């Protein structure tokens, strides 16, 4: 069985308590859960090692999912808040306290354009009370390809369908994720999960 992870050498791995590196990182997303009959995705680094996993222990497109590292430590709990039109997703960092007693670390709101059929999501990240950052998830409705850009339009991360070194396009459940330097990988993985929930892939 062919491996789905990149074959090129990888940069040194960051410490286990760090999710930011000074170099561009390439990951492989396999849109399958490690849990039997579960929904979610599994993330491999460029050495083919599992580094993140997203699991949905309930039904597909559940309103509560969990981003974990390989050891099962929950990094983010993602909740869907139902609104009248498109809904909102909130991400809570694991801190030992109950989600209901915390303020969300990030919020995602979906926007649709009637003309052109495109879609995008507005992301607000609040690492603490004094700071907030605004990002946008740009992509094609119903497609796997999308980008996460900052408020100046700079690309922070990009997801696209994976190809082998010989140019063969793999299935639509195997994706490449490129994360730019100095970007929090765990946050990107959580936003990728929200996109999966929006497009009913998890």
- Domain of 122: which CATH number? 2.40.160.200
Any domain includes 128: yes
Does some domain include residue 4? no
Please check whether residue 13 lies inside any domain of the structure: no
Q: Is residue 101 part of a domain?
A: yes
Q: For the segment 47-103, what is each residue's pLDDT rounded down to a tens digit? A: 999 999 987 766 655 688 889 998 888 999 999 887 655 678 999 987 655 666 688
pLDDT band at 111 (very low <50, low <70, confident <90, very high): confident
With respect to residue 5, please indicate whether it lies within any of the assigned structural domains.
Answer: no
CA 193, 194, 198, 202 dihedral sign is positive
Q: What is the pLDDT of residues 2-14, one digit of tens each?
A: 444 444 433 333 3
135 vs 171, higher pLDDT: 135
| Residue 12 belongs to some domain of the structure | no
With respect to residue 3, please indicate whether it lies within any of the assigned structural domains: no
Q: Is residue 157 part of a domain?
A: yes
pLDDT classification of 110: cutoffs 50, 70, 90: confident
Number of domains observed in the structure of the chain:
1
Which residue, chain included where needed, has tokens 């396999």? 30
Count Cβ atoms below 10 Å from residue 71 Cβ, excluding itself.
6
CA distance 29 to 45: 9
Mean pLDDT lowest among 23-32, 34-43, 69-78: 34-43
Q: C-alpha 54: how far from its chain's center? A: 9
Query: What domain range is 126 assigned to?
Result: 21-199
């Amino acid at each position: 069985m062919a491996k789905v992870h990149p074959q090129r050498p990888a940069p040194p791995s960051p410490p286990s308590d760090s999710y930011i590196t000074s170099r561009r990182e390439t990951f492989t997303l396999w849109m399958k859960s490690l849990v039997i009959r579960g929904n979610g995705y599994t993330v491999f680094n460029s050495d083919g090692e599992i580094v993140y996993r997203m699991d949905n222990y309930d039904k597909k497109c559940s309103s509560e999912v969990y981003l974990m590292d390989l050891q099962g430590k929950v990094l983010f709990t993602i909740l869907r808040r139902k609104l009248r039109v498109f809904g909102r997703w909130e991400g809570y960092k694991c801190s030992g306290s109950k989600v209901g007693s915390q303020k969300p670390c990030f919020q995602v709101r979906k926007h649709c354009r009637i003309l052109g059929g495109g879609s995008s999501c507005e992301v607000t990240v609040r690492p603490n009370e004094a700071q907030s950052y605004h990002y946008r998830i740009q992509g094609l409705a119903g497609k796997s390809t999308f980008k996460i850009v900052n408020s100046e339009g700079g690309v922070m991360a990009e997801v696209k369908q994976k190809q082998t070194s010989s140019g063969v396009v793999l299935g639509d459940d195997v994706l490449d994720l490129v994360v730019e330097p100095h970007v929090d990988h765990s946050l990107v993985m959580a936003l990728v999960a929200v996109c999966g929930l929006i497009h009913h892939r998890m």
